[in-house]
Amino acid sequence: MWRAFLVMAMVAVVSGCPGTVSPQPAQGRTTVEKDSIYFWKVATSTLEWGACSDAEDFRASVSALPVGMNSFLIYKTNDAGTQATAQTCTSLDPRTCTDSNSGIVFVVGGTELTFVRDLLKEPLRVRDTTGMERDSTCSLTQLETWTMRDNGPKFELDVTNILGLVSDTPDGGAECDLIENSLISRSPNMAGVRGCIIGFKLAGDLR
């Protein structure tokens, strides 16, 4: 019941773009260039777990973001150099780029770019006593923060996800407690989902 929600937010700004090498912004900078499109080739992708359940069904629902030979992180800075909007491109040519439908707009501070997504909340699916699946009264929450560091010829991107459980029902979240306790009971490390931190890390080179 965890898979779709945890993974969907991670694939938004990584695009496969075959084609020629793009114009390269100046190296050794202390700020990003204004009104410029940056093409970053993704070389590595890793996943780090914090204090989270190690139950097999829970961990199996999350994996490092898959990357291939044509995986890129692309964004365009505005005229003031204060924001950078994620792009979708069909080649490494700025003329083929448009704003991504991911809604990701970084705030630029020096050579560090940050984005905080609005809190995501989605009801969890559970099975009742008859074996039928239904939406529970408990929702999984996810607070997602992106931190992208422009290190000149290379970049690092950390996406941190803090998970929780919440219920809007008058019972004070009894079903959330049941879900959390069930997860803890089948976790060798006796951890649950509340306060779980999952870190996705990408790194690569400027093209």
Q: Which tens digit of pLDDT belongs to each residue from 45-57? A: 999 999 999 999 8
Determine the 3-state secondary structure of 207 from DSSP: coil
Question: Which of 28, 158, 33, 26 has the alpha carbon at shortest distance from 84?
Answer: 33
The span from the CA of 107 to the CA of 141, in Å, is 23
- pLDDT over 90, % of the chain: 55
The span from the CA of 3 to the CA of 169, in Å, is 24
Strand residue runs (E) in the chain: 14-16, 37-49, 71-77, 83-89, 97-99, 105-109, 112-116, 120-127, 133-150, 154-167, 197-206
Q: Token pair of 147, please? A: 């931190």
User: Is 90 exceeded by the pLDDT of residue 6?
Assistant: no
Per residue in 122-134, pLDDT (tens digit) is 888 877 666 677 7
Question: Regarding predicted confidence, which is higher, 162 or 170?
Answer: 162
Give the number of residues written for the chain.
207
Domain boundaries, the chain: 3-206
Looking at residue 94, what DSSP letter applies? G
Answer whether 199's CB lies under 8 Å from 50's CB: yes
User: Is 60 exceeded by the pLDDT of residue 109?
Assistant: yes
The span from the CA of 150 to the CA of 98, in Å, is 21
Answer whether 203's CB lies under 8 Å from 43's CB: yes
Q: Token pair of 28, please? A: 């050794």
**Maximal CA-CA distance, the chain:** 63
Q: Token pair of 204, please? A: 């690569």
How do 83-89 and 97-99 pair as beta strands? antiparallel
Question: Regarding predicted confidence, which is higher, 133 or 182?
Answer: 182
User: Taking the mean position of all CA atoms in its chain, how far away is CA 192?
Assistant: 20
